[in-house]
Structure 1
Amino acid sequence: MNEEKKKALQCLKTSKGQIEGIIKMIEDGRYCVDISNQIIAAQALLKKANLLILKQHMEHCVKTAVMEDKADEKIEEIIDILSKIMNK
Structure 2
Amino acid sequence: MNEQKMRTLMSLKTAKGQIDGIIKMLEEGRYCVDISNQIIAAQSLLKKANLMILKQHMNHCVKDAFKHDNGEEKVAEIIDILSKITK
Query: How far is the alpha carbon of 1:3 from its aligned partner?
Result: 2.0
Question: Equivalent residue for 1:86?
Answer: 86
Question: Any idea what the Cα deviations from partners look like across 1:7-39, whole Å, max 9, x if unmatched?
Answer: 111000000000000000011010000000000
Structure 1: give runs of 5+ residues left out of the alignment.
none
For 1:27 and 1:19, the matched residues in 2 are separated by 12
Question: Equivalent residue for 1:13?
Answer: 13
TM-score under structure 1 length normalisation = 0.95
For 1:3 and 1:69, the matched residues in 2 are separated by 29
TM-score under structure 2 length normalisation = 0.96
Query: How far is the alpha carbon of 1:2 from its aligned partner?
Result: 2.1
Percentage of pairs with the same residue: 72
Structure 2: give runs of 5+ residues left out of the alignment.
none
Query: How far is the alpha carbon of 1:6 from its aligned partner?
Result: 1.2
Question: In angstroms, what is the RMSD of aligned CA positions?
Answer: 0.7
Secondary structure at 1:52's aligned position in 2?
helix
Question: Any idea what the Cα deviations from partners look like across 1:26-60, whole Å, max 9, x if unmatched?
Answer: 11010000000000000000000000000000000
Number of equivalent positions: 87
For 1:75 and 1:69, the matched residues in 2 are separated by 12
Q: Which has the higher contact order (CA 8 A, sep 6+)?
A: 1
Tell me which amino acid in the other structure corresponds to 1:78.
I
For 1:80 and 1:2, the matched residues in 2 are separated by 26
